[in-house]
Every structure is written in structure tokens, then in C-alpha cells.
Structure 1
Amino acid sequence: MRAVKYIGVATALALAAAGCNGDEDTASPSAVPAGLESFYEQKPSWKDCEDGFECTTVEVPLDYSKPSGDKLGISVIRLPAQDSSDRIGSLLTNPGGPGGSGVDFVRQVGRAFGADLRNRFDIVGFDPRGVAGSDPVRCNTGAQLDDFFSTDASPDDEQETRALGTEGEEFAQNCETKAADKLPHVGTVNAARDMDVLRAALGDDKLTYYGASYGTYLGAFYAEQFPKNIRALVLDGAVDPTLSSTELLIEQAKGFETALRAFAEDCVANGCPFGDSADAVVTRIGDLLDDIDKKPLTSTRDDREVTESLAVMGIARSLYVKEYWPVLRQALTKAINDSDGTILLGLADEMVDRKADGTYSNQTDANMAVNCVDKPTPQNLAAYGKAAAEAEKSAPRFGPFVVWGGVPCVYWPTQSAPEPKPLTANGADPILVVGTTRDPATPYKWSENLADQLSSGVLLTFEGDGHTAYLQGNACITNAVDDYLVTTDPPKNGTTCR
């Protein structure tokens, strides 16, 4: 899947060194790392940025091994606590990606956090390094990304495979040409270190954090490096840091297949116009995609053809949120009955943050830049083809698209991180991991696995659909998460909400 929202095509995860062991004192925050005092001691200058929000920029080193060298500006936003007399501190958030704007996230949903959190915390978002307002990585034009996303990501022959490789190579070359100085430094290891600078700059002795999807790995990575600096961490829609890049992609593809079947069952229960059983609906969708592969759909949105890859992206976008299922039903009906891909194309554009004027945010460029440096990936097209074939066996609708989406990493100019290992965060106070049983993008077992790996992990389960659980309106989840963030007392391990 090309730049799947929240988790990304190659699922940015990595393990780096700098963890602390469980024998060390965790009663107080760790000392400021030597040479970084000027960053930790900075006092942000907050300015009004409309609608009750305040914004600032926090400075971090481009390269933490050279703190006196080039600097980056991290864009930060906050929604101040409603009850300043009972304020606990800041709740730092990350919506995932990699490539998602935390500033936009807080602007859009900051007021949707629970009442207790709104009263007692500043709700804070930030754009990670290389993303949106934080010295963004920008590689490709809108036209180049249009070509990248429309290219057949389920190649049927050698010619189509070579075309995918060409698109991937051009993507990587564009990033090397336009952002070579940033590429080695945009990975999760540095973003997690930036979070500790932010914690100090916000005036908090310890970090209170909510992270979704990729944001769960960013939070777990923070815990691995700074276990003594944790007050409370919620990791919602977790990823499993022990899996290889291709293992993660294959499992993610399975997650989309699970979500598609859940959609199909719901469609049948409500009188589905293109099938009278879940099997029939899923088969019909597969047949539609085969037809689109042979003859792309038209769209009244613009003059682009709606290729198979764009149609799959549109379907995937609808599976992230159950409230989108009626839209997906309408989109598929129009595609099947009228060969009209307008709605599917609109959903695909939303997935990758394409604007009506043909421009894109830097979400896709940043997504790939982080993914390609965070974890080793197959280094040739043949290896990708083998992984895609394996994925297709268990995820026939999504497998090839998800796996082939990371092909630019074959040509990436920056060396990737070491092989992944478990994250344990030894010595950290309880960390709450939230998993959704039919999550399309971060399969539930990833949350189970991360909760098991973390020395203080506590698992909270949402029996339901959609990507991540908090902010989805389930009172049981909201109350459990809010109580933990306020009191630091997690729910009982294994608690399930329905």
C-alpha cells in the first residue's frame, strides 16, 4: 500500500541502542544528556494561533552526535488546560504515520479528548522532524506522486515489475537530490530524542503521552531510551517492533483483509447490492479489481484514470473508520454498475493527502524517508516479488499492494538501521497498550505482542472495528484511558471493552 495513513507502506519501526536497565533508579528523571543543555533549557515563546490554540517552535540538533552543528525547528501546538488551578502538565500526542502532522491532529481533534484530560492537561501536538512544519522533507512534485501512486502495484509480468522499480528508483533519486542532508537524521531514533527535549521545554519532569499507530512505536522507543522520564504512556493501535519489514507488511495486508470481510458482513446484514453473503461480496470486490486492472475506471473528479492501485487505496481508506463503510458501499456500487471511480479516487486522494489542485502535503515523502532509514528492507525487486507472492496467498486483495509499496527503499541513499529487537523499557512505570480486534492497519496481535514485550506493559482490548480505539466514542475505552492518564493507575491487564 502506497503511504498507508498512520502506519505507512513499509511500517516505520526500528530499535536503536541507548536503553536503560531496570536496576537503575526510576524515581526521578534522568539527567540532561551532556552537550544538550541549551536544548533542554530553552523556554518556548508561545503565540496565539487562532481558535484558542497557542503555537511555538522548539529547536533540536539535526545530528545528536554533533549538537553544535545544524539545527531543526520542531513545530508545536497546544490547547491549554481548561482548569489551570488543577493542571497536571502537558499531554504530548502523535497521530502516527510516519508523516502525520501532530499540529494538524491537535487542531482537528484536540477538543475531542476526554473532559478530565481537557481540564487537567495542555493537549500538545508536534510535527516530527521532517514532517509538515518541522523542516519538512520534500522530494516529489504532485505530478510525480500521481505517477507513483497510479503505477500498478500488483505486477502481472516482468514489464510491470520493472515499471514499479523505475518509479521506486525515481522516488529515491528525487529525495537524494532535494533532501540528502536530512535523510540520515529523520528516523524514529531521533524523533524519540526530540520528544525528550520537548518534555523538558514544556516544563514537565516526566512525559505524559498518547500515541496512535506509528506513534505507538515512537512512544515505545521513547520508553526504551528514557524509562525514568515516563509518567504515563498510552500506545493505541500498536505495532510489533520485533518483526522484519516484510513480516510487518504481510501482517498489515492480512489486517486489511480481515477488515474487508467485516465490511462485507455488515453490507450483507444491511442488504448488500453486490452480494448476498460475505464470501460473495469479497469475491465481487476482487473481481472488480481484476476488471480495473484490465481497464481503469473513469472519474468526474479530474482527468486521471482510476487504476487498480488507486482503487485499492480508496477501499483501504474506507476501512480505517467504520463510519466510512456506507461511503465505501456507495463507491463500490458506482464502480460496479457505472464504471465510475470518482468516489474511490476521492478516498484514495484523502489517504495520501492529495489536494484538489493536484498538490500534496509532504506526508508521502516523509513517510518513505522515515521508513527507509528505520528498518532494513529487501534490497532487490526479486526479494520484494517473493514477499508479495507470500502476502497474496493470505491477503489476495491487499497483499501485493502493501508489500510493493516500499520499493523505493531498494534504492534509498541512506543506510538503514540494524535488525529489529524487542523493546522492553525496563524500569518504566506501567505503560498502557490498546488494541482493536479488527484493526485493518495494526493487527490486534501486534498490541498483544508489544504489551508482552514491555516490562510494564498493560493490555486494554477494544472488541471492534476501525484503526485505533481512543477517540472512537467508546465510553469504556475513553474512561479507562482518561483515568490512567490522570491518575497513572492503569486498568487491569487484559481488560476488554465492547
Structure 2
Amino acid sequence: MPTTPRRTAPIAAAVVTATAALTALVPPAAGAAEPHRSDGRDRTGSVRLDWAACPGKGEDSAQRCAELPVPLDHGDPRGEQITLTVSRIASTGPAARRGTLLLIPGGPGGSGIDRLARFGPDLMAGTRGAYDLVSFDPRGVGLSSPVSCDLDPDDVATVKLRPWPGPGGDISENVARGKRVADACARSEDPVLRSLSSVNEARDIDRVRAALGEERISAWGVSYGAYVGAVYAQLFPHRTDRWLLDSIGDPDHTRVARGWAENYGPAIEDRFPDFAAWASKPRNPLRIAPTPAGVRKEFLRLAARLDREPRPWPGARPPVLDGNVLRQTMMDAFYSDANFPALAELMLAAEDPRKPLPEPEVPPLEVLQNNAAVVVATICNDVRWPRSVPGYAREVAANRVRYPLTAGLPVNIFPCAFWPYEPAEKPVRITSDGPSNILLVQNLRDPSTPYRGALEMRRALGERARMVTVDAGGHGAYLSNGNARGDRTVTEFLLTGRRPGTDVVCRDPGPEAG
């Protein structure tokens, strides 16, 4: 599901931006609205990339961009083409350069161009210029043949696209919205939208590899990008070099995003104690309650009260603070400890009607539209979802009792229940067939891709992988929310190719054999 790297923005921004799993998208550049192209270039994958300034980055930026034609349909490689925008920061140590490291963005819907801008400098320094660092906006995203379902503006907010049940667990509004969203996407009749899938993104990555002139490529995939990276390693094992998968979802090919959504229930329960411990510290000026148990009780009480008595929030999308907006804010905040203060501030402001709510920061509507279309189309095209509305209602009722913090969201109905298309092909099953060159890195208390899901990926890969478990909370371990020992273990793998002899747990001050 949608993922975000580490965020330190005010929680007001977190509420209205693409969430937990979605990096900020680059708005389409001027003239980028036309998604198809046919420019006569070689369409076999052997394409020269002409690097130039990235839109919005400036001529003096080390990050450069190029356009790459890829087949709309990989089954017809010489047919209609669409455009990927690829981005690169060239190695700062050409003598030490050993190849290309591809950053696979999260999401679905995350911008690799933004991710490279955010992590490129630290990654280049940490790997001592050993790689050209490359990323891309996946098909349909940002600068790469962007798509839109032209949804009602009220339907594009994360708290609406995520099917939070109504008070008491009612899902009737979710059913109506799911039908509206699916119908709107079908009306667009955009073949790019129909082509969005994890398998096609992996095939696009192989076109990027070929265009870079690399026989084999290394990669760092995070969250949804880790799943795409696993799919690529299954489809093109002989093209992989040093393969890093970070914050990993359960690879169950019969469920895919359905399983990722369901995992939010236990993941948030795993993570909440970190916030509760922080928010109950005696000298914390944003203290919520005297004990961690009290913080949990206060959160649940406040969410229930806001369900009954929402507060207006002018300028936000939606312009109201209700229980579900608070719950979504919590999920977003748990991506990084750095967001704990903003969540506590919102809770304290919501508790006191005399206090103003934070000033909302709303991304441009076209960014939200693009993000919504990519998320919905990808997760619905990947696998068939159940269609029974009563079945979802029963699941929600049980899940609300088991995981009260997420109030039934993880198993609720998505637009995929009304998606008019069948998946074009079966999802890829991840197996142990392939080279032993994969390193997994996973936080123990990840709010989006929980540790139990990562263990399923580890089991599926067998001896192909080793796993570095980091005793930390947050989403995105390497160079984000992990710890120094975990970062050093990963960096050594990228520099030398050496993995730990066994799975390890990295606790401060050092790793322990697992």
C-alpha cells in the first residue's frame, strides 16, 4: 500500500498528502499531459538516454533527467510507446565506480525523481561514489505519461480513498465511494491506466537497465518498491547484482495489496507503544497522559468523540477533523518518530475547543488526482478482489474488535471490488529460485509493512536472501528510521557484496545473530 519515506512535515500536511506509502509526486510538467509518444527511436530497449536538467531542479543540480520510450504493452514491444522519465546522479568517483544502483520508489504512486533528490546525496556519500544513482517516475506517475481518473475532488483525499468505516462500523459510504471511483476510472478509457501493474513496472525497470547499458544492475527498493524489486528479481534474476529490499510486504501472490492493507491492523498495534511511551514521559511538554496505557485510552476516547462531534477544519481536504481523520493522521505520523510531536499537538488541540487546529497544507489537486489514479489502478489490476459487500461488512465488524486503533479499515471495501476489468495476468509468485544476492532490511515496528510480512518474504526467498532486522520503529529502515548498526551493515553489502552469514538483529550498540 501507499508508503512514504521519513517525514518531518507538520501533521496538518501529513493528513492531506498522499500517505504512508506515498512519496510526494512531481506535478506534470508543462506539455506532459499527452501520455503517448512515437518518436521513431529504437524500441528494443537499446535507447540512448539524453541527460538534461530535471524539471524544477535547476541547471546546476547534480540530478539529471532523460526520457525513455517503453512499450504500452510489453507483449507488443514494437507497438505503441509511452514515456518514462528517468533520473540520474552520476558517480562522484569514476575510478571507484562499479555500476548503477537503482532506487525503486514506493507507493504505488511514489516519485523516484523525488526519492533520488531526497536520498541521493547521503547515499552517494555513504557508498563513496561507487555507483551512478538512478531512479524514475513509474508509468502513470508524475513526469511519466501521467494518468488521472478525474475523480470528484471530495474523493481524492487519503482519508477518503482509504476506506475508513463510518461510526459504528457502517460501510455504506465506502461502498458508494468505491463504485464512484471505479466507474470514473473506467470512463477515462486510458490504456496507460489499464496497463498499470507491478509486473509491468518490473518490465519497465528492465528497459531502464538496458538503456543504461548495464548487463546487471543493483537496486534499493523500499515498501511497495521492495515488492516490485522482488518481482523483478523473480522475472530477471540474471540481471540482478546487489539487491536490497527495505520495509517489505508479504509477497502472497493470491492477495498482493489486499494482504498489505490487512496488515495495517497488527502493524499499527506494534507501533503504537512507541508513541505511547514518548507521549507519557513526565517532562514532555506535549504529554498526553501519565502512562502509556493512558495515552492509548485517550486516543481511542478522542477518536470516538470526534466521530460523534467532528470539528470544522477550514482549508483542509476534507474540511473537518473527525475520528477517521485523527486515525489517518496517527497512521501517517507513525512513519517516523520525528512526527510524534505533531500528532500530540493535534490531539491536544482537538481536545480543547478553544485551541485552533494546525494550518492545513493541501497539495495541488492534479497531484492528488494523479496519485489516486495510480494507486487504485495498480492494486486493482494486480489481482482480483472479492466482490461481496456483506462479506466486507462482516470482516470489518470482526476486525474493529481485534484492532480498535484502525477501526476496521484494513479489511474494508476498496474500489477494486467494483473494478470493471479482470487482471491481465497472474501475479508473480516469489520463490527461492535465483542467485543468492538479496539483502532484506526491516524495522521491528513498522506501521505499514509489519515484521510478520517481512518474515513471509524471507521464507519465500529462502537461501537467496539474508535479513537484517532493526530494533526500531518507523517505515523505511536504511538511511531513514533504522539505526547506525543496521545502516552500516547495509552499506557494507552495497560496497562489497558481502551479506551476514546468518540473519541478524541490529540493536544498539551492535548486531546479534538471529
TM-score by length of 2: 0.83
SS of residue in 1 equivalent to 2:442: strand
Partner of 1:64: 74
Q: Which residue of 1 aligns with 2:440?
A: 433
SS at 2:478 equivalent: coil
Equivalent position amino acid for 2:405 in 1: R
2:393 aligned residue: 385
Once the two structures are TM-superposed, the CA of residue 422 in structure 1 deviates from its matched residue by: 4.4
Alignment partner of 1:102 is 2:102: no
Moved more, 146-155 or 375-384: 146-155
Q: CA deviation at 1:37?
A: 7.7
Partner of 2:30: none
Paired amino acid for 2:433: N
Which position in structure 1 is the counterpart of 2:295?
281
1:182 CA drift (Å): 2.2
Superposition deviation, residue 436 in structure 1? 0.5
Deviation string, structure 1 residues 422-447 (Cα, Å, up to 9, x no partner): 41151223200111100000001222
Say whether residues 1:454 and 2:454 are aligned partners.
Answer: no
Contact 2:165 2:174 in 1 (8 A): no
Q: C-alpha offsets along residues 307-362 of structure 1, whole Å, 9 cap, x if unaligned?
A: 3222221111110011111111111111112376834x84xx6xxxx416796262
1:176 to 1:148, Cα distance in 2 relative to 1, 3 A: farther
Match of 2:188 among 178, 183, 189: 178
Give the 3-state SS of the residue equivalent to 1:276 in structure 2.
coil
Q: Is the 8 A contact 2:193 2:374 kept in 1?
A: no
Higher relative contact order (CA 8 A, sep 6+): 1
Residue 187 of structure 1 aligns with which residue? Answer: 197
How many angstroms apart in 2 are the aligned matches of 1:114 and 1:462?
22
Counterpart contact for 1:450–1:457, Cα < 8 Å:
no
Structure 1 residues 146, 71: closer, same or farther in 2, change over 3 A?
A: closer
Structure 1 counterpart of 2:488: 479
Q: Distance in 2 between matches of 1:329 and 1:386?
A: 33
Displacement of 1:125 after TM fit? 1.2
Bigger Cα displacement from structure 2, 44-53 vs 146-155: 146-155
CA–CA distance in structure 2, aligned partners of residues 10 and 275 of structure 1: 26
Aligned-pair distance for 1:407?
A: 1.6
In 2, Cα distance between equivalents of 1:433 and 1:180: 36
Where does the alignment leave 5 or more consecutive residues of structure 2 unmatched? 6-17, 23-40, 508-514
- Structure 1 residues 359 and 197, CA, compared in 2 at 3 Å: closer, same or farther? closer
**Partner amino acid, structure 1, of 2:351:** I
Q: 1:155 aligns with which of 142, 166, 186?
A: 166
Q: What RMSD, in angstroms, separates the aligned Cα atoms of the two structures?
A: 2.8
Residue 299 of structure 1 and its aligned partner are, at CA, apart by 2.4
Q: Following the alignment from structure 1 to structure 2, what is the Cα–Cα distance between the partners of residues 314 and 429?
A: 39
- TM-score scaled to structure 1, two decimals? 0.86
2:278 aligned partner: 266
Match of 2:347 in 1: 332
Deviates more, 1:215-224 or 1:81-90: 81-90
Do 2:21 and 2:223's aligned partners in 1 also have CA atoms closer than 8 Å?
no
For 2:277, the aligned partner's letter is: E
Correspondence for 1:240 among 208, 231, 250: 250
Of 36, 44, 65, the match for 1:39: 44
Shift of 1:259: 1.3
CA displacement 1:18-53 (0-9 Å, x = unmatched) = xxxxxxxxxxxxxxxxxx983321111111333111
Check 1:11–1:125 CA distance in 2 against 1; reply closer, same or farther (3 A cut): closer
How many Å separate the matches in 1 of 2:410 and 2:184? 22
SS at match of 2:109: coil
Is 1:252 the equivalent of 2:267? no
Structure 2 CA distance for aligned equivalents of residues 132 and 384 of structure 1 = 33
Instruction: Give CA deviations for 1:70-96 in whole Å, capped at 9, x if unaligned.
Output: 111111111111011221121101231
Q: In the TM superposition, what whole-angstrom CA distance separates every residue of 1:461-496 from its partner, at most 9, and x where no partner exists? A: 110111121012632122211211122211232222
Q: Which of these residues, 314, 322, 347, is aligned with residue 329 of structure 2? A: 314
1:357–1:446 distance in 2 versus 1, CA, 3 Å: closer
When residues 313 and 147 of structure 1 are mapped into structure 2, their CA distance, relative to the original with a 3 A threshold, is closer
Q: Which aligned pairs between 1:295-306 and structure 2 lie closer than 5 A?
A: 295-299=309-313, 301-302=315-316, 304-306=319-321
Measure, in 1, the Cα distance between the counterparts of 2:312 and 2:293: 27
Which stretch has the larger CA shift, 248-257 or 442-451? 248-257
On the 8 A contact 1:231/1:429 being kept in 2, the answer is no
How far apart are the structure 2 equivalents of 1:387 and 1:246? 13
Aligned equivalents of 2:408, 2:80: Cα separation in 1: 40
Measured in 1, the distance between the counterparts of 2:471 and 2:313 equals 37
Gaps of 5+ in 1: 13-35
Question: What letter is aligned with 1:412?
Answer: W
User: What is the distance in 1 between the residues matched to 2:131 and 2:369?
Assistant: 29
